[in-house]
Amino acid sequence: MNLIAIVDFNNRQISGVREEIMPQNVRANYEADGWEVIEIDGHNYQEIYQALRSATHQKKSPTMILAHTVMGKGVQFMHHKEKYHGAPLKQDEKNNEYKDAMAELGLDDRLDEYKKMRASRSFPQIKREIKVAEVKIDPGTPRNYTAQDKLDNRSAWGNALLDIFEKNLKPREKVLAVFDCDLMPSVKTEAIQKKFPDYFFQGGIQEHNTASIAGALSRLPVRVYFADFGVFGIDETFNQERLNDINHTNLKLVLTHCGLDVGEDGKTHQCIDYLGLASNLFGFKVIVPADPNQTDRATRFISVQDGNFLLAMGRSPTPVILDENGNTFFSGGYEFVYGRIDKLREGGRAAIFTMGAMVSRAIKAWEILKEKGLLVKIFNVSCPMSLDDEVLKEAFGTGAVLSYEDHHIETGLGARIALRATELGLSAKFKRLGVRNYSGSGKPDDLYKMEKLSPEDLVDSVINLLKP
């Protein structure tokens, strides 16, 4: 094993001397984890070389080179002075630290020249070219689930993932990888761990580290999936995903237990803000499938696409969506297209936009409304960050629009629809239904009733919105 880590150890923190601020034994920490440790003078090139040479030949364990260094090395008055970290040197007439430092370093003073260059902007504009590592994946043949199949979306994702692995790892090529944080039975990656252990990476309960490693690996010709609970995969690791976004990774982030549908784990595990968080990441696309069939096809879709994708779903079994004739909507010849909004039901009195776990409940509300003589449109918005303007115009043409979601009401689907409709100059009566509070511990249907998000609540909202 030739894993080598180099620790630049200058014994200083921004707040002061390390022993006084955060006493720790760096060497012992590494040795406790089984590392070989070599201590050197980090300014001595010969010691650096010898340490690297020794570490390269170390086969039994990884090696950490603890390089003792001096902050501000080369300028005497800056030695061991943390105050100079990230701060410019003084250029006073009586105390010109900059000129003193340049003189001690033996460097030419060209500061005025660079100031003029910056003011004139007469310097080359460098545009970074992002090269995407090519990964060719065969998505395989979608599975078709029927109304009799009692399945959750996470199982549909897991089944599709297994199909993809079996299709693309024969002959065995290192083009796929799955990362897990000790949740594989819940996020449905257990089959990958059992059948393809060499392509399964267990990060334990170290979500930040796992998100970073998965993102970095995705820049190589490897299709990388990171599956986790919503609160751990995006809330907990938002900064890591932000850095992944900045670095143009190609990560497929799969989040289960999104919304209030997390079982009885309660408010700490209810990821009700994944869309709001992901919308702050310029390079992420979000997919919230409506049922197992759409989940299957969305999984295969992201597997052949470059870029960062977030696939979000709840925990509970999700009814297979049927059309008005009783046929499965998202199976057979259905093809997932990013950004396409699916019209599930027709009507002229109002329009309901919904996504994910609420789609089946919106259809139940539609059936109740139909019995009352009220026909409304039902739109499934599986890609809430990519709204279709023509569909919005059709919906607002009814004069009454509702959004219905298992998400924070201020940062979810309804908020995005309202913003885009305003930009388009569309107007209608508009009602948003979503999560307004941290909820409790209980079954999803009970929690939805508490939040006024049951199908019956949606029916009441439609009727009230249609009142003169």
For the segment 367-388, the average pLDDT, to the nearest whole number, is 97
408 pLDDT above the threshold of 70: yes
Residue 127 pLDDT more than 80? no
How would CATH label the architecture of 342-465?
Answer: 3-Layer(aba) Sandwich (3.40)
**Intervals of CATH 3.40.50.970 along the chain:** 153-312
Q: Report whether pLDDT(342) > 80.
A: yes
pLDDT computed for residue 131 by the predictor? 80
Read off the pLDDT band of 174 (50, 70, 90): confident
Q: Is 36's pLDDT higher than 70? A: yes
Indicate whether 123 pLDDT > 70.
Answer: no
Give the integer Cα–Cα distance in Å for 331 and 320.
Answer: 10
Longest C-alpha distance within the chain, in Å?
Answer: 88
Q: Specify the pLDDT at position 1.
A: 59
Q: Report pLDDT for 103.
A: 92
- Of 202 and 123, the structure prediction assigns the larger pLDDT to 202
Averaged confidence pLDDT in the chain: 94
> Sorting pLDDT into bands at 50, 70 and 90, what band is 468?
confident
Domain 153-312 has CATH 3.40.250.10: no
Task: Give the model's pLDDT for residue 126.
Answer: 74
pLDDT at 120: 84
**Model pLDDT, residue 133:** 80
Residue 252 bridge partners (DSSP)? 225, 309
Average confidence (pLDDT) over 407-418? 97
The string of pLDDT tens digits covering residues 457-466 is 999 999 999 9
CA angle 299, 181, 447 (to 5 degrees): 70
Residue 308 reports pLDDT greater than 70: yes
Least confident of 101-110, 185-194, 382-391: 101-110
Average pLDDT over residues 255-276: 93
What would the mean pLDDT of 375-389 be, rounded to a whole number?
A: 98
Confidence of residue 129 (pLDDT cuts 50, 70, 90): confident
Q: What is the pLDDT of residue 115?
A: 87
Contact between 282 and 453 (Cβ < 8 Å): no
Q: How many whole angstroms separate alpha carbon 444 and alpha carbon 357?
A: 10
Using the Cα atoms of residue 96, residue 98, residue 103 and residue 108 in order, give the sign of their dihedral: negative
128: pLDDT confidence band, cut at 50, 70 and 90? Answer: confident
* pLDDT (0 to 100) of residue 330: 97
Q: Which residues belong to CATH 3.40.50.920 in the chain? A: 342-465
What is the band of 67 on the pLDDT scale with cuts at 50, 70, 90?
very high
User: Which residue type does 181 have?
Assistant: C
For residue 198, name the pLDDT band (cuts at 50, 70, 90). very high
Record the pTM. 0.88
What is the sign of the dihedral through the CA atoms of 286, 292, 294 and 296? positive
Does residue 64 register a pLDDT over 90?
yes
pLDDT digits (tens, 9 = 90+) for 10-23: 999 988 898 889 99
> pLDDT tens across 434-455, in order?
999 999 898 999 999 999 999 9
